[in-house]
Structure 1
Amino acid sequence: MTAATRDPASNGQPDDRDRREERAFRPVGRVTGDRPQMFCLPYAGGSANGYDSWLPLLSRALDVWAAELPGRGTRFHLPAARDVGELTGQLVDEIEPLLTDQVVLFGHSMGAVLALELALRLQARGAPLSCLVVSGQPAPAWPRENRLHLLDDAQLTVAMKAMGGTPPEVFDSAELLELMLPILRADLRMVENHRFTPGAVVRCPLVAYGSVDDPDATEPAIAGWADVTEGTFESRMFPGDHFYFQQHPQAVAVDLTRRLLRHLSTPDGAISGGSQ
């Protein structure tokens, strides 16, 4: 992918399409601006379309936005982020103009780390936050032994296969692997080197999801997220591996819809889209 093109008539300034491609958040489905907002952060190596199997079910009743991080998708020409704090500082600046009075943050795996840090930044700025939803990531206080970013390419490829979630054709293409591995490694390095602020908590409700066949985000590791909120805490373990939401998109959408009903209201008084 090449850098964004420029319209000769624009005196070297980016056109509207360029500006859209530079933005970190893209809408999923219809965005009205008068509904609760849900901002979704990707897993390591993932892009803004990583949750496309189930997010459209929620976009019937929520304004859903998916983050496209530097170094992939429409932002491929930008250098990959190296620090969680620096990245979430950029993301919070992009989110603020989009905020309504009801905001949900969601993140899976690395995205859960980003979602927590983003929630803390929004909270410090006095921004509204209705619920934080984390998935597939051990609680901040849980011991971490994996240092996947230190693996060589062959070992990292084996680890990718074991985690699931990557289309088989990626492993059959040396060219695709050559594109994917540096992005994945950069994300893993960033999140594995991140240090959480001891004692930092959010004040909003927190929902934590895991899956029974995920060897790292075990049920006790997911339950540990209860210590990260002063609000209500709920958790659920789904069947499946680390990418359980790809295997059970409808079940995830229905369950999250039901839980968000307790914390959000829509113009008609209910969120109904995810359960249809």
Structure 2
Amino acid sequence: MRDNRKLIKNEEKISSSEKVMFCFPYAGGGASAFRNWENGLGSDVAVCPIQLPGREERFGEQPYEDHEELVEDVYSEIRKFSDHDIYLYGHSMGAKIAYAVAEKCENDGIDIKGLIVSGCSAPHIPDYDPIGDLPTEEFREALGKYNCTPQAILQDEELFDMFLPMLRADFMISEGFSFGKSRISCPITALCGTNDDDAHENDVMQWRKYSDEFNCRTFEGDHFFIKEKENDVISYLRKVI
């Protein structure tokens, strides 16, 4: 049985904050991707990254292989904080998880103040080039093009073998989501990179079909513009929330 209490980082800070932003990382990423966000978003916002098993301090744990189980487990923890102003943020795979959690929250009567998605096409648009079930060497090559996995891991056979189960599971999760066109009542803010080959601006703009209140902001950069333009992204998110 999983220890779902480990899913939320910085949980102890929620009680003293009116607002809480739960942050969902991209495939292969962990909570440390958001280490610089806390100070930038202000003292009134508890920044709580979701730490999935199989990475960082949870490296030895079995990664999720089923997106429905993942969403249910995350939701079961987030719902405990329904008396706060909840914002959900996700990048790439994380955006899909955040949307699924937002939908589940609203279906159960939990108010979400905002859904923020970045580097992710709208839910009804399939992945252009899925890689999760590629043979190992082709998968490794594809990861190199994504620029999300350190070269030290990709080029070291032993390291790569250690990280392979988590990386493959994440991409299978991300590419395995199946959505309809369910609208949600909370505002949606979409962020995209000008040179993102994985989530084209027109496809990101399709998120407008999922809420009556929609905004989109473009940043210079590729799929990981949130790293390249981190300060600009944090500044913009501060305005959003």
With the length of structure 1 as denominator, give the TM-score of the two structures: 0.80
CA distance in 2, matches of 1:201, 1:173: 44
> Deviation at 1:20?
8.7
Q: Does 1:226 align with 2:208?
A: yes
Q: Are the counterparts in 1 of residues 42 and 238 from structure 2 also a CA contact under 8 Å?
A: no
Q: Does 1:202 align with 2:205?
A: no
> Deviation at 1:169?
2.6
Runs (4 or more) in structure 1 with deviation over 6 Å come to none
Matched positions, count: 240
Corresponding residue for 1:181? 164
CA distance in 1, matches of 2:42, 2:164: 31
CA distance in 1, matches of 2:186, 2:4: 31
Corresponding residue for 1:148? 131
Aligned pairs (5 A) from 1:217-256: 217-230=199-212, 232-256=213-237
**Counterparts in 2 of 1:234 and 1:249: CA distance versus 1, 3 Å:** same
1:150 maps to amino acid: D
Aligned pairs (5 A) from 1:14-163: 22-27=5-10, 30-58=13-41, 60-163=43-146
Q: Are the counterparts in 2 of residues 28 and 56 from structure 1 also a CA contact under 8 Å?
A: no
1:235 maps to amino acid: C
CA distance in 2, matches of 1:167, 1:71: 16
Q: Are the counterparts in 2 of residues 209 and 238 from structure 1 also a CA contact under 8 Å?
A: yes
**Counterparts in 2 of 1:29 and 1:219: CA distance versus 1, 3 Å:** farther
CA distance in 1, matches of 2:25, 2:203: 20
Moved more, 171-180 or 130-139: 171-180
CA distance in 2, matches of 1:79, 1:20: 11
**Counterparts in 2 of 1:37 and 1:43: CA distance versus 1, 3 Å:** same
RMSD of aligned residue pairs (Cα, Å): 2.2
> Deviation at 1:187?
1.1
**Counterparts in 2 of 1:21 and 1:91: CA distance versus 1, 3 Å:** closer
Q: Are the counterparts in 2 of residues 200 and 228 from structure 1 also a CA contact under 8 Å?
A: yes
Q: Give 1 or 2: higher helix fraction.
A: 2
Corresponding residue for 1:9? none
**Counterparts in 2 of 1:163 and 1:127: CA distance versus 1, 3 Å:** same
CA distance in 2, matches of 1:144, 1:102: 32
CA distance in 1, matches of 2:11, 2:145: 29
CA distance in 1, matches of 2:3, 2:10: 11
2:209 maps to amino acid: D
Unaligned runs of 5+ in 1: 1-18, 261-276
CA distance in 1, matches of 2:12, 2:136: 36
> Deviation at 1:36?
0.4
Matched residue SS, 2:32 = coil
Corresponding residue for 2:174? 191
Unaligned runs of 5+ in 2: none
CA distance in 1, matches of 2:190, 2:134: 29
Q: Are the counterparts in 1 of residues 128 and 198 from structure 2 also a CA contact under 8 Å?
A: no
Q: Does 1:257 align with 2:238?
A: yes
**Counterparts in 2 of 1:94 and 1:31: CA distance versus 1, 3 Å:** closer
> Deviation at 1:202?
1.0
Matched residue SS, 1:65 = strand
> Deviation at 1:165?
3.2
1:114 maps to amino acid: I
Structure exhibiting the larger radius of gyration computed from Cα positions: 1
With the length of structure 2 as denominator, give the TM-score of the two structures: 0.91
